[in-house]
Chains A and B, each alone.
Chain A
Amino acid sequence: MMAFLFGLIHTGLVLAAAPLVTGIVRLTKARLQGRRGASVVQPYRDLWRLLQKESVIAESASWLFRIAPYLIFVAVWLAATIMPTFTTDMILTPAADLIALVALLGTARFFTALAGLDAGTAFGGLGSSREMFIASIGEPAMLMVIFSLSLLTHTTSPAHMVAYVLGGHIGIEVSAGLALAAMVMVAIAENGRIPIDNPTTHLELTMIHEAMVLEYSGRHLALLEAAGMVRLLLFMSIISCLFFPWGIAGADSGLTDVVVGLLAWAGKVGFMAVVLGYFESMLAKMRVFLIADFLGGALLLALLATIFLYVSEAV
């Protein structure tokens, strides 16, 4: 019963908190750039405004163009629902492990890329092509991170990973450090953050994600923007759950544990949002073909993470 309740609360909470996280990142960047910046609740207002606007659809677009935003949003929201954040005692947590989580994000990406191609414009194709290119290296890197973590904890289920780590079964591991580095690199790429992609660009030959959703407007754009915000929060939750699980309430824990879990999650995500804003202000965007080196590095780090497990064992 509690599992069902927590699951329901969590489903609403990830959606409600996602624009706030984006707001914090934007405010941090604005302050670092010497601007006052918009309030942290500005993303909520943006979404509301987009919902009220009529949607303009290209004449050449098919029905896929209209259903894609819903599919993308639901796939990302579903992934965020499954990933434990403040408690592992949720009804849906066993429904998908980390491999399924990667695949759910893959589904969202698949339809975003198709939507980019649908109107038959040059920019849309450009975005789709580059997005799939990035994913072609980023997704394997993430799967290898999961591989190394599953070797460490003997499971691919995030809830059991948390329980294993909190049970004190592993100390400081070189592999976990390498996997964390790889995971952060993948998270940056998957969310289209600097230095891979610039989320604030709207008319550049270098844009990737924004190029795909260029034709969208109104409520469809609102859904895509919301999906992007939930995805950012999801990746922060993944990193905090897999690498810094301290504070997460386990199964059969009392209400205080859950409140502690909530506060810990809020603290971790808030910290990561500020750090993300800080680094985004410090770094410049990289050339498209340097992304292959960046993500290739992530893939190699993740592979090293698995191999180091046995090297350290053999020595």
Chain B
Amino acid sequence: MIIGTALAGFLVLGLSAILFYRFSHVHELIYAGCLLVTALLVGDGLWHIVQSGQEEIPALILPFGLPWLHAHFRLDSLSAFFLVAINFPAALASLFGIGYGGHVPHSSRVTPLFPLFLFGMNGVLIADDAFVFLVSWEFMSLSSWLLVLSDHTNAEARRAAMVYLVMAVFGTFCLLPAFGLLAGPEGAYSFAAMRTAHLSPVAGALVVLLALMGAGSKAGLVPLHVWLPLAHPAAPSHVSALMSGVMTKVAIYGLIRILYDLRSDVGWQWGFVLMVLGAIAAALGVLYALMQRDLKTLLAYSTVENVGIIFIALGLALAFRDHGEIALSALSMVAALYHVVNHALFKSLLFLGSGAILQATGERNLDKLGGLLNRMPVTGFTFLIGACAISALPPLNGFVSEWLVFQSLFKGPTVAHWAMRFGVPVVGVAMALAAAFAATCFVRAFGIAFLGRPRSPQAQNAREVPLSMQIAMAIPAFLCLFLGVFPVMVTTGIATVVEPLVRVKLPAAVLGWPWLSPVSLTAGSYSATMVLLTGIGLMITTLLVVHHFGTRKIRRAPAWDCGHREDIVNAQYSADSFSQPLRRVFGSVVFRAREEVEMPPPGALTPARFRLSMIDPVWDGLYVNIVRVVDAIADRVNFLQFLTVRRYLLMMFLTLVLLLLVVAVRQQ
């Protein structure tokens, strides 16, 4: 009921933004409306999670949709969980939009689509049949596509929108037959019917493969990730936060719905596939992120990495479930969903931060920023919290979920099959590399943008953003700490959510509430609360000792720098120079990075030049070839466009005969 009202609210907000676009304050009012509606949905989702397990939630059937099929809606605990995980960052983006939405280029093209985008995403979550699911999915894709295209005068945005549209169509193209196969020959499109359906092994495998490609392309699995680093940065920053922090989670929801709920007999081999794909995405995604100069592109690639981590945990959950290790399966699932929440939080925070930087300086290029921490203290502090959280530093939330993923990964070899036993350590290496690279990546992002001396006049003159935007960044920063320090509360909540999927409830706290000890008493434990309290105790001791026994005098002086005092700001390390060692070691293989230094002869007055060239292995190796093949085929069949009517009629006739033959053969 509440959800229905909320969805209607999104539609009304979208329409009124179009109707009243001339009024002053329309942007502020629309975003404030979105904030209200999303806050309502968060409350409703939380209430459902608390209530879950008490009663069976009936499906709501409304008389619209396909002629022979009514629209089914249902809110179970999984949907309720994602309702919270998605609408909370959406509420933050709306709050940010109040101060930000009126300043983006072509803002009257953005404001109406924002609530419609939220409408589509929420529709996917409460859908209980394939039709509603796919329509909402497309609504989400198309509205976000229009949001990417909002800055339509920019050629880059147009290219991003083109690539995104193709990939979105590809995703739906995969999901459509997946649901078709699930529905079976009777066309039972409601999810309830799909759960009881029996599929042949081939059809079952095809469903998993298609779902993986469909949801994977939306979530950003390598090699289907190419649209993500183009489209996410092209949209206005609060929309980027939604696309990166939230829409990828809708895709993960879709995958969980199909693989864990609609199909309950997916084999461990698929778990292995998911795990390996996740490992590739995690390691490659962050390696790409390390090479980026554009802050928002960097964040988009980091989303690929985090989606990879979630996939590793999801794959482990499948593998454990198939081998009867249901307690470990529950653990992996909790780890995956915990990371879903965490990534939604800190990625939204970081994208909002990049929006604040963009508004203050007009720059996304790291090499034009610098020294912002003194000029934008709130943005800087919250961005620092986000960077620490995404780098999995204790006691913040990112560490808890990565700890849980590592704990379940370390139990991976209990699945007694050689593929898992040798595969899991290799996946472990990829995951560990991804975690370490992420820390490097965010030291670089924060250090170059916020520390050092300003590298451009825009950065020099940056000013702090309005209060509503600061609050929109402060709330997730606080929650990053809160969810990190009280993890058992979150794992208990998630354990009830995943109970229907893995058929077991994770024993939440073996040792009492502050101790996270998921596997058993002796298998390893972590208590963020204790770590934080002890840390505070040690900090107070340190401060007392240093200030009691030492001097408190401080003198400001020019930087020492070994006596090489340099006034040229470009003498500082830049984004490119920071990643140079890793680029030389890993980038020269993966990206074929080449550095050329052009030194003028002694005495010449021309400047020395440094040139850096890199290729995108996925784009140049895969997509360019696909385009080439498609072009070649198009050239060959091009003549079909210029035939006479007689020939067209002949071809139609032949096609008809062929189809009738097929029908006749099948009737046999």
Contacts and interface: CB of A to CB of B under 8 A. Distances in A.
Interface of A: 11, 48, 51-64, 70, 73-75, 77-78, 81, 92, 94-100, 103-104, 106-107, 109-110, 113-114, 117-126, 128-130, 132-133, 135-140, 143-144, 147, 150-151, 154-157, 160, 203, 214-215, 218-219, 222-223, 288-289, 292, 299, 303, 306-307, 310, 314
Contact of A143 (B373, B388, B432): B432
Nearest to B525: A94
A121 B559 contact: yes
A310 B388 CA distance: 36
Given A96-B526, A96-B527, A117-B447, A81 B534 contact: yes
Interface string B382-410: 00100010011110000100010011011
Contacts of A104: 394, 531
A58 B560 contact: yes
Contacts of A289: 581, 584-585
Contact of B440 (A107, A124, A133, A156): A133
Contacts of A53: 551
Given A78-B538, A223-B546, A107 B393 contact: yes
Interface string B522-537: 1111110011001100
A314 B421 CA distance: 11
B413 A60 contact: no
Nearest to B539: A74
Given A70-B542, A73-B542, A156-B524, 19 more contacts: A58-B557, A58-B558, A58-B560, A78-B538, A94-B511, A95-B525, A96-B530, A100-B399, A100-B403, A104-B531, A106-B393, A109-B439, A119-B452, A121-B572, A128-B573, A160-B523, A218-B554, A222-B550, A306-B425
Nearest to B443: A113
Interface in B366-394: 370-371, 373-374, 380, 384, 388, 391-394
Interface in B550-578: 550-551, 553-562, 564, 566, 569, 571-573, 577-578
A34 B567 CA distance: 44
B526 A144 contact: no
B578 to A, nearest CB: 5
Interface of B: 370-371, 373-374, 380, 384, 388, 391-394, 399, 403, 406-407, 409-410, 413, 418, 421-422, 425-426, 428-429, 432-433, 435-437, 439-440, 443-444, 446-448, 450-453, 511, 515, 517, 522-527, 530-531, 534-535, 538-539, 542-543, 546, 549-551, 553-562, 564, 566, 569, 571-573, 577-582, 584-585
Contacts of A214: 560-562
A155 B523 contact: yes
Contacts of B433: 136-137, 140
A130 B583 CA distance: 12
B394 A110 contact: no
Contacts of A130: 581
A157 B518 CA distance: 13
A144 B534 CA distance: 27
Contacts of B569: 120
A123 B551 contact: no
Q: Which 3 A-B pairs have the closest CB atoms?
A: A125-B573, A120-B452, A156-B524
Nearest to A94: B525
Contact of A147 (B403, B425, B556): B425
A51 to B, nearest CB: 3
A94 B527 contact: yes
Nearest to B450: A62
A52 B550 contact: yes
13 contacts: A57-B555, A58-B560, A59-B559, A63-B374, A74-B535, A96-B526, A106-B436, A132-B440, A136-B439, A144-B428, A144-B429, A151-B410, A303-B425
Nearest to B529: A95
Contacts of A110: 388, 391, 393, 439, 443
B554 A157 contact: no
Q: Is the interface of B mostly helix, strand, loop or mixed?
A: helix
Contacts of B543: 70
A113 B387 CA distance: 13
Contact of A215 (B384, B426, B559): B559
Q: Which of B392, B406, B450, B451 has the most CB of A within 10 A?
A: B451
A149 to B, nearest CB: 10
Given A54-B551, A54-B554, A122 B425 contact: no
A295 to B, nearest CB: 10
Contacts of A57: 554-557
A139 B428 CA distance: 12
A54 B555 contact: yes
B394 A59 contact: no
A74 B530 CA distance: 14
A92 B525 CA distance: 11
B524 A92 contact: no
A122 B421 CA distance: 46
Contacts of B450: 62
A62 B566 CA distance: 18
Nearest to B287: A136
A129 B579 contact: yes
A133 B429 CA distance: 16
A136 B440 contact: yes
Q: Which of B403, B446, B524 has the most CB of A within 10 A?
A: B524
Contacts of B409: 147
B309 to A, nearest CB: 14
A68 B407 CA distance: 30
Given A57-B555, A99-B406, A307-B422, A92 B530 contact: yes
A222 B373 CA distance: 25
A64 B542 contact: no
A118 B549 CA distance: 27
Contacts of B413: 151, 306, 310
A77 B541 CA distance: 11
Contacts of A109: 439
B531 A96 contact: yes
A122 B425 CA distance: 39
A155 B62 CA distance: 52
A278 to B, nearest CB: 30
A303 B584 CA distance: 23
A160 B522 CA distance: 6
A94 B531 CA distance: 10
A93 to B, nearest CB: 9
Nearest to B540: A74
B660 to A, nearest CB: 58
Contacts of A222: 546, 550
Contact of A122 (B406, B432, B573): B573
Contacts of A92: 530, 534
A219 B543 CA distance: 11
A286 to B, nearest CB: 14
B410 A156 contact: yes
A157 B410 CA distance: 13
B524 A150 contact: yes
Given A106-B439, A147-B428, A133 B546 contact: no
A111 B474 CA distance: 21
A303 B407 CA distance: 17
A139 B436 contact: yes
Contact of B542 (A74, A137, A288, A307): A74
Nearest to B547: A219
Given A51-B549, A120-B559, A64 B451 contact: yes
